[in-house]
């Protein structure tokens, strides 16, 4: 890539392959086990790649959001061109947002469902089918959507915002009713990350603080059936 460009977004494709989006619009897969690390690329964005999400680890689809207001969906199963064997073909180019797209996340419980959020002049959360690229729903939230995170266990969606309130909003999906609004940051909340089990969410903002929220419900372990798990209620057997 261009030596003057810098990395703006990262997403793990697998345990060994890291996908990086750069300030020049390029997206590259790097195999961290190899010396010649760049293994394939995805071309389509003209400006900074602000967000990258794989549909799952070892997933089929990659979604990218850019400063060029575009959302791209790539399908790793699509055939590559003979003259560009390391370049993935674009499946959908989505141009419905009117501002930078920083917020992107795949639904963990419904396959092929992507949510995206638009920036300062857009304010919308939009839902897409990866299969045909169709917009399934669009909600105007009233302010800049900076990040977006699906709950791993329930039909809920968390979004974070910039001016004027820098808040987090928990939505019910599919009704898109607001379940909770959380305040605490004093500037744009640019990043959201969920703990591996669900439960706790971390938010990072331009106010240089990291906050932890007990917002998603943690799944309750299933009760063992009678007579199948001896001593299940004891953590130590002496």
pLDDT on residue 232? 46
Give pLDDT tens digits for 92-118.
999 999 999 999 999 999 989 999 999
pLDDT at residue 225 greater than cutoff 70:
no
Query: What residue segments make up the domains of the chain, in order of their start?
Result: 1-140, 143-219
Q: Token digits for 11?
A: 């997403």
pLDDT class of 224 with cuts at 50, 70, 90: low
Instruction: Please tell us whether the domain made up of 1-140 is placed in CATH 3.90.180.10.
Output: no
pTM of this structure: 0.88
Distance of alpha carbon 223 from alpha carbon 80, whole angstroms: 48
pLDDT tens by residue, 63-89: 999 999 999 999 999 888 888 888 888
Going by the DSSP 8-state scheme, the letter that residue 130 receives in this structure is: T
Other Cβ atoms less than 10 A from the Cβ of 114: the count is 26
Peptide bond into 186 cis (omega under 30): no
């Amino acid at each position: 890539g261009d030596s003057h460009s810098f990395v703006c977004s990262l997403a793990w494709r697998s345990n060994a392959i890291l996908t990086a989006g750069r300030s020049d619009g390029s997206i590259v897969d790097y195999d961290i086990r190899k010396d010649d690390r760049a293994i394939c690329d995805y071309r389509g964005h003209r400006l900074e790649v602000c967000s990258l999400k794989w549909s799952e680890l070892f997933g089929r689809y990659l979604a990218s959001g850019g400063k060029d207001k575009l959302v791209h969906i790539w399908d790793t199963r699509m055939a590559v061109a003979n003259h560009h064997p390391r370049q993935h073909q674009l499946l959908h180019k989505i141009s419905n947002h009117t501002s930078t797209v920083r917020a992107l996340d795949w639904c963990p419980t419904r396959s092929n469902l992507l949510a995206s959020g638009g920036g300062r002049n857009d304010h919308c959360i939009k839902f897409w089918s990866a299969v045909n690229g169709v917009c399934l729903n669009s909600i105007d939230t009233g302010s800049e959507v900076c990040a977006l995170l699906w709950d791993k266990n329930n039909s809920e969606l968390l979004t974070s915002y910039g001016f004027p309130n820098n808040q987090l909003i928990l939505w019910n999906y599919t009704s898109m009713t607001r379940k909770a609004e959380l305040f605490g940051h004093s500037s744009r909340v640019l990043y959201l990350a969920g703990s591996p089990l669900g439960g706790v969410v971390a938010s990072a903002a331009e106010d240089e603080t990291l906050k932890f929220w007990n917002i998603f419900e943690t799944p309750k372990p299933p009760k063992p059936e009678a007579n199948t798990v001896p001593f299940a209620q004891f953590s130590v057997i002496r």
